[in-house]
Structure formats: structure tokens, C-alpha cells
Structure 1
Amino acid sequence: MTEITRVPLQPIARGSLTKLWLGVIAAVLLGAGIAWAAAPKGVELTEMTAGTGANPTAEDVILVNYKGMLADGTVFDQGQGVPLPLQGMIPGFTEGALKMQKGGKYRMVIPADKAYGAEEKRNPMTNQVVIPANSDLTFEVDLIDFMPAAAFEQRMQAMQQMMQQQQQQSGGGGGGGGAPAPGAPPR
């Protein structure tokens, strides 16, 4: 039978095991802190007035009153009763809107990486920088209503048809004096 070579174990000095465990804990905490700091920040949504009902989906068009601001409070855009298709919005705005409810008022802070990132936005008329590169954006949003994009498109087409009919009826006569419209009583 062969004999196995024995290695004698050395006794551990008093307090060394505690120091070893403290070192392991410190390394784990340091790694977690670095991971937390490097993790991308999400959209912060603060509810100022509670809404009711369901939340919009990414395929919906939302109807909102809004004000967009830079971190220093400079207003770069605002609107009343504006329809916004969520599929066409910056990722952070869509992410925040999906958590809103009809009738609610919200404050949304979007980090630059979920807004325009390193791209700056300019006013097409003046070529002036409106949103500098790497800007965090803040929006105050009142969610008035929302609907599926297909229903919104149908409503828009119906409104366009009504406007065309009204223009034909009012603009076609050239100021009166012509023949009455078919079916209208004579003048």
C-alpha cells in the first residue's frame, strides 16, 4: 500500500480569520458600489396628482399638456392638448408615459442616455442650440387621454374629411351670388 504524503496544517494566528472575513466583505461591498454607480439610471417619475384607470401602451397616442425643461429650469418646449405617438418619442419619455394614468399630473426626469445622449438639438429656424448634448431633461406632464394609434388615425382622417367638406361648401361659391347648392331653397 502506498502512503499519502501528509502536509501539516499550520495554526491560524489569533484574529486572522476575522480579518480575512472583513476583507471579503469589504471587497463585495466595493464591487457592489462600483456596479451600482456604473448602472444606467432610469427615468424618475413623480406623481403630483393621481390619475385613474389603465396605463397607456407603447402603441398608443397620448393627449397631453406638457412643459419640457433643462436641468437649470430653462424651458425648451411646451404644448397644450398635444397628441404624441409613444412609438415616436425618446425612449425615456415613453418609459415614463407607460407608468401614467389618465387625468394624472406627473414630473418626469429623463437621464441624458434615455433622451438625446451626445446629440444636441437645434431650432431649425434659428439654428440655435435648444437642448445641449448630454442633457438630462425634465417634463411636467398632464395626461388628458390616450387611445390606440389606429383609432387616432381614424379620428384624424374623419376630421380631415369634415374640414374638406366645409371648405367645399363655404369656399366653392366665391362669396355668394351664384346658384344655390343642390337641394338648398332658392334665395
Structure 2
Amino acid sequence: MTSKPEVDFIEGPAPTELQIKDITVGDGAEAVPGGVVDIHYVGVEFDTGEQFDASWDRGQSAKFPLPHLIAGWQEGVPGMKVGGRRQLICPPELAYGPAGGGHRLSGKTLIFIIDLLDVG
């Protein structure tokens, strides 16, 4: 996983529950609930397919404690192994909350492609 992933546009209605799909299963250490992860990611809006964020575009990965991230990541990243690439589709309640919630992505279903680089 040395290159930024493309996020395919998904036809049909947005899911109402977290969708987790492994694109590549890693063979390294496993991310655990409440742990720290070093990741590369791309985020797009489900409805438009427009990218709103990507660590790849900044040229460096992002290291976060999982409890500081949106609920969809807190639920969807644990169990990933280093070297893996996973797609998460997060409905608004697991992303930035309902429309009018004060964040520019409130009310939106979001798709993330996450590459797990390291844990710890």
C-alpha cells in the first residue's frame, strides 16, 4: 500500500449502519479498542463521491488515539492488522452527527479508506 487509494462511487441509498469491508488483510499487529493507530486515509462523501480529506495529500500519515476519533472509526478500526486496507462507510450518527450539528460534515454519510501503518 504505497499509493493513495481511489474511492469508488457507490450506487444506491446510503447505509444506515456501519459498513466494514477489508480490501487487504494485513499480517502485522492488530489495532485494539482504545489504542493508538498510525494510518493513512482518504475520506469522501457518500452522496457526491467528493473527497473532503486525505492524509495522503499532506504527505504524512496521521497518528491518533482511537478514542479521539469518530465513533465509526472507534468501531471499525479495531481488528485491523498492520499492512491492511479497510473501507468504512459511516452513517451520520457514527460520523459527525445529524444535519445541523455544527460540523460541515454533519448529516452526511462518509466513506473512508484506511491503511493501518502501525499500532501502539
Give every structure 1 segment of 4 or more consecutive aligned residues whose post-TM-superposition deviation is greater than 6 Å: none
Task: Report whether the alignment pairs 1:138 with 2:111.
Answer: yes
Q: CA deviation at 1:94?
A: 1.0
Alignment of 1:31-180 (within 5 A): 41-71=16-46, 72-79=48-55, 80-118=60-98, 119-121=101-103, 129=104, 131=105, 133-147=106-120
TM-score, normalization by structure 2 = 0.74
Q: CA deviation at 1:101?
A: 1.2
Q: CA deviation at 1:53?
A: 4.1
| Matching residue's letter, 2:44 | M
Deviation string, structure 1 residues 134-173 (Cα, Å, up to 9, x no partner) = 11111011001100xxxxxxxxxxxxxxxxxxxxxxxxxx
| Matching residue's letter, 1:105 | R
Greater Rg over alpha carbons, structure: 1
Identify the structure with the greater strand proportion.
2
Q: CA deviation at 1:43?
A: 1.5
Q: Aligned to 1:59, what secondary structure does the other structure show?
A: coil
Q: CA RMSD in A?
A: 1.7
Q: CA deviation at 1:55?
A: 2.6
Deviation string, structure 1 residues 35-55 (Cα, Å, up to 9, x no partner) = xxxxx9431111111112443
Q: Which runs of 5+ in 2 are unaligned?
A: 1-14
Identify the structure with the greater helix proportion.
1
2: CA distance, partners of 1:103 / 1:53: 6
Deviation string, structure 1 residues 49-93 (Cα, Å, up to 9, x no partner) = 111244322221100110111111111111132102101011111
2: CA distance, partners of 1:85 / 1:57: 10
2: CA distance, partners of 1:140 / 1:45: 10
Count how many residue pairs are aligned between Structure 1 and Structure 2: 99
Q: CA deviation at 1:120?
A: 4.0
Q: Is the 8 A contact 2:90 2:111 kept in 1?
A: yes
